[in-house]
Chain A
């Protein structure tokens, strides 16, 4: 399983763009990169997933360089409600689902 490394915490002001980078040096060819968001007392919620280059949806963008050894989750114009823990996962469920969560990045957004 690919091990991931993320910053433990980040602070931002409301309205700023936040970029959270995840390192996954031993990512395998079949592995996808997935980001989850977790609020206190709730289960993680899927944000975005990608395999290479750039993926964008209504809440975030995911940038993946050509070597795929890292990825960056970009949250545009964060608000107070984006305060949460963000997890980067690397894995593939083609034949098995054994996703491992790291400790995540705790994002604190203030006014």
Chain B
């Protein structure tokens, strides 16, 4: 069953701790994305990767880091430098073709930092 798996579904952390969110896909897609969603706002792009071993900052990359060592995996680390980390985090992938294929999403991870 092809898809995108984000884990865990819920994550609780104390302020000052780094935390890593997992995103795994078996769609064989090259492009992977991390978005943040806050109530009443559209999705905001954190980081994206078009190919293994390469990634680019999105609009709100400060306080986050990523790696792309394997095609299937694109983990996101929320560092203690992120001022307001509590949010819903969504991972997405996109198939081949610069424009003609749809974006697919995982089910998200809700991070709460206290």
Q: Indicate whether A and B interact.
A: no
Interface residues of A (CB under 8 A from B): none
